[in-house]
Structure 1
Amino acid sequence: MLDDKKDDIFLSRWINGELSKEELSEFQSHPEYEHYVKIMAGADALDLKSYDVEKELYAIKSKRSLKKSGPVIKLWPYFAAAASIAIILGLFFFGPNKSFSTDYGQKLIVALPDGSEMTLNAKSIASFDKSNWDNNRTITLEGEAFFKVKKGSKFTVTTKNGEVSVLGTQFNVNSHNSLFEVNCFEGKVSVVNNKKKEILTAGNAYRNLGKTYEKWTFGESTPSWLTNTSSFRSIPIRYVFKELEEQYNIKIVEKGLNLGYKYTGTFPNDNIEVALKTVFSTLGIEYSLSQDGKTVVLEK
């Protein structure tokens, strides 16, 4: 159908609307055509005007050894290229059951099968069964994530510390070690933790620290970490230190500090010098940063 040279740039020509009527008709009859239509629809929604698709296709194909087996359109290599674009942008539209994770200082937006959206904070892991979503709407989370739930959708977020069930809402879940905190920004959520059940409405928060339960109200419309600021309300400093480590890929070495001391405040997630000075000056703690910028040593 196409010679080898045309085969190499076929998808980019389709993206640019350069196929002849005959080529387009044959392409539309291919069993994978609908996959590409969906991929491009997602790419259009991301506003990829400045993204050089042809360059990326060439770069990816130049790294792979593709066997030619006759005059057919080889579509899956291009599917890999389009998927790579989505991964670079931190959005996953398709694929089987997978686990999504973030590294130090990273955030990741994941489109859920029902059209809802999940944003992971740094050093967090989430997974769900996409292929069986209609029967098993459960998301397993380790770390912190913010959820924008499509109106009318239902699912449950499960952590080692408790569960959050939702219906058309926006909420944040933070589960680290013995910390379990849920903030409801819109709608209503049901929280189950250590056999204790709470119903949270917009502007209400719940926290469990081991055997200590707390509830309070707040006025923010979204979690501060979405705009690169970590904020804390009367929380043991061990969790503040952990957040610093996860945002900046550092190790904090303390010498006999009372890690249960409560901290209220914020620090930026995009400036380590300001972050360290903000936290430790507030606490009245002297500190030193190693030459490689990876270790913070605290002094009483």
Structure 2
Amino acid sequence: MENDLLIKYCEGLLDTASNKEVETWMDASPENRKTVEDLSMLLFLSDRIKAMEEIDVDEMYDDFARRKSILPVERKAIPLWRKIAGIAAIVIALIVSGTFATFYLLDTYSEPIVVSTRLGEKAQVILPDGSTVWLNACSHLAYKKSFLTFKRQTTLTGEAFFEVTPDRRFPFIVSHDNSEIKVLGTKFNVRCNDDDNFLSASLVEGSILFSDADKKLSVKMKPGEHLLFDKQNNTTALSQVTSVEDIYGWIDGKLIFHNTSLEEIGKDLEKYYNVEIVFNDEQVKRERFTAEFEMTDNIHHILSMLELTNKFTYKTHNREIIISSK
């Protein structure tokens, strides 16, 4: 088996046919499987030692000391290359002895980076592994400066579209509350607001595995599928996406609604236009609409167009919009 093919397999860069070829070769003998496992470990070490170049050891120690109430000690300045070499030597020694405690400690005492967007604001984030995240309005994304452990962990509240760098060795995790989405390399959208009863995920490319906190519920998604997770009842429902543009239209400045309740539309309008929408009765919240608008459209234009259906009427008072049944 060619080394280049094995390396691409470990990095998750092969197509389905080539993946099957490598896995068949691995199943042929224990020696073949060990070759791939050793290569994967070597690539892991290479990536993580490179990541350590960005670590400020003195700052990490001071942070550790503050957490554990250790008195600061006077330390002589150490050249950066010696710090990196020292860390690398410790890591290799620990791996030879069969433990990854170093990675655990570095990950534990590394403060997360939090990116937040405000009303009407969007953001693009490049993660340490090269993955790209587009963050919608009123959303929060947390991640570590360096992905030092065996998984690439992120936490999301709000809505985001992920374009994940393939890496078979290290799953990419998106967590929210009592659920998580696990991927290897793919493009997908997640919406998970704290005040919503549902979490939704839509898949464009690749595959993702959705599960709840207890791992009792597990759903593997295919491209073009939309998952709806009921947080209260702990149930899921799968459906087909009408159009790929529906998944990430918001990145291009579009508001796309397909059989969407007026209550959900109202939540989106609140995020993008910094208004408060009040419903006078429960019935009008459940009215459903299919429509497409530009985020540059005036909110009164959007509501006036929807009002033409004769399902509701609205009036405004400062930044408050009151919606009633017709």
Correspondent of 1:165 among 177, 182, 188: 182
SS at 1:114 equivalent: coil
The count of corresponding residues between Structure 1 and Structure 2 is 206
Show CA shifts across 1:105-161 (max 9, x none). 111000001000011101001101224543552111110000001122631000125
CA distance in 2, matches of 1:102, 1:241: 19
For the 8 Å contact 1:137–1:156, the answer to whether it is kept is yes
C-alpha distance 238-283 of structure 1, shift in aligned 2 (>3 A): farther
Give 2:225's aligned amino acid.
N
TM-score by length of 1: 0.62
Identity over the aligned pairs, expressed in percent? Answer: 28
C-alpha distance 103-169 of structure 1, shift in aligned 2 (>3 A): same
CA distance in 2, matches of 1:161, 1:227: 30
1:223 aligns with 2:248: yes
Q: CA deviation at 1:98?
A: 1.5
Give 2:139's aligned amino acid.
S
For the 8 Å contact 1:96–1:131, the answer to whether it is kept is no
107-116 vs 144-153, greater mean Cα deviation: 144-153
- Counterparts of 1:223-262 in structure 2, within 5 Å, are 223-258=248-283, 259-262=285-288
1:275 aligns with 2:302: yes
For the 8 Å contact 1:268–1:274, the answer to whether it is kept is no
1:108 aligns with 2:123: yes
SS at 2:219 equivalent: strand
SS at 1:168 equivalent: coil
CA-atom RMSD in angstroms: 2.5
For the 8 Å contact 1:267–1:278, the answer to whether it is kept is no
Give 1:169's aligned amino acid.
T
Show CA shifts across 1:7-53 (max 9, x none). xxxxxxxxxxxxxxxxxxxxxxxxxxx99xxxxxxxxxxxxxxxxxx
CA distance in 1, matches of 2:159, 2:309: 25
For 1:88, the equivalent position in structure 2 comes to: none
CA distance in 1, matches of 2:151, 2:185: 18
CA distance in 1, matches of 2:259, 2:178: 20
SS at 1:151 equivalent: coil
CA distance in 2, matches of 1:151, 1:111: 14
For the 8 Å contact 1:161–1:175, the answer to whether it is kept is no
Correspondent of 1:214 among 237, 248, 251: 237
- Counterparts of 1:60-209 in structure 2, within 5 Å, are 97-135=112-150, 137-152=152-167, 154-176=171-193, 177-193=196-212, 195-209=216-230
SS at 1:223 equivalent: helix
CA distance in 2, matches of 1:198, 1:187: 14
SS at 1:205 equivalent: strand
SS at 2:125 equivalent: strand
C-alpha distance 282-245 of structure 1, shift in aligned 2 (>3 A): farther
Show CA shifts across 1:155-185 (max 9, x none). 1000125211111100000012212100000
CA distance in 2, matches of 1:192, 1:279: 36
1:288 aligns with 2:319: no
C-alpha distance 207-233 of structure 1, shift in aligned 2 (>3 A): farther
C-alpha distance 96-111 of structure 1, shift in aligned 2 (>3 A): farther
Give 1:208's aligned amino acid.
F
C-alpha distance 243-283 of structure 1, shift in aligned 2 (>3 A): farther
Show CA shifts across 1:158-216 (max 9, x none). 01252111111000000122121000001111111473211111111111234363211
**Greater helix share, 1 or 2?**
2
